[in-house]
Structure 1
Amino acid sequence: MKKFGLLVLGFIAGIVAVANLGSLLGLAVSGLIVFAGAHFYLKSHSTFLKVFWAIVGIFGLFSAVANVPGFIGIIAIIGVYYVVKRWKNENISFSSAKVVSDDPFVNFEKQWNELYK
């Protein structure tokens, strides 16, 4: 029964993701326009270019707001990812990997504590 629920959830999320591909593409283009506007705004030196690139960035923001269904598509893609991970019985973890330090003092303290337990 659990696999059936995952199958239904994955099917619905897949349909929603495919139905929102246009909005996702529009959202990506809007994000690129906002990024370009901010990038060139920071690089420009004249007031005219700063105003121009600020207006371009604002138009990109308006376009991103108009593509709200793209956010629903992103949530659907996350749902498909969740279903695939659960179907394969893999754990879903968003924590960072443990960093092993090459610092000799940290390693010395760790080995010292292992010797005198």
Structure 2
Amino acid sequence: MKKFMLFVGGLVALIILLANLGPMVLLGLSLWLLYVIFKKFVRSDSTAGKVGWIILGLFIASIAFSNIYAVIGLAAAYALYLIYKNWNKEDDPMVHVMEDDDPFTNFEREWAELNK
């Protein structure tokens, strides 16, 4: 049942990720352009050039903020990563190997191995 739920969750996360792929690409592109604009702003010597780079940076920042759906796509990608990471994880918290000579502990370990 756990594998089925992980599969369904992964399928939903994949659909959400694919649906938000466009905004994710535009967000990445706009963040890269903001970085380039900042580097050009720092290298500019004239005041008019700095003002022009600020105006262009604000325009690109508005494009970046309009792609807020990309955050949903990033969350879906992270969910896919967690599902992939937990796919083959064994969940048997009752069995712990103890290096104890207590007869009750040894009995519990042997009983758990018999019930596998």
**TM-score when normalising by structure 1:** 0.72
Identity %: 37
- Where do 5+ consecutive residues of structure 1 fail to align? 91-117
Rounded Cα–Cα distance in structure 1 between residues aligned with 2:36 and 2:57? 7
- The structural deviation recorded for 1:29 is 1.2
- Where do 5+ consecutive residues of structure 2 fail to align? 91-116
- The structural deviation recorded for 1:30 is 1.0
- The structural deviation recorded for 1:89 is 2.4
Q: Is the 8 A contact 1:33 1:56 kept in 2?
A: no
**TM-score when normalising by structure 2:** 0.73
Match of 1:47?
Answer: 47
Helix, strand or coil for the counterpart of 2:74? helix
CA RMSD of aligned residues (A): 1.4
Deviations 1:41-75 (A, max 9, x none): 11111111111111111111100111011111111
Decide which structure has the larger Cα Rg and report it: 2
Runs of 4 or more above 4 Å deviation: none
Matched positions, count:
90
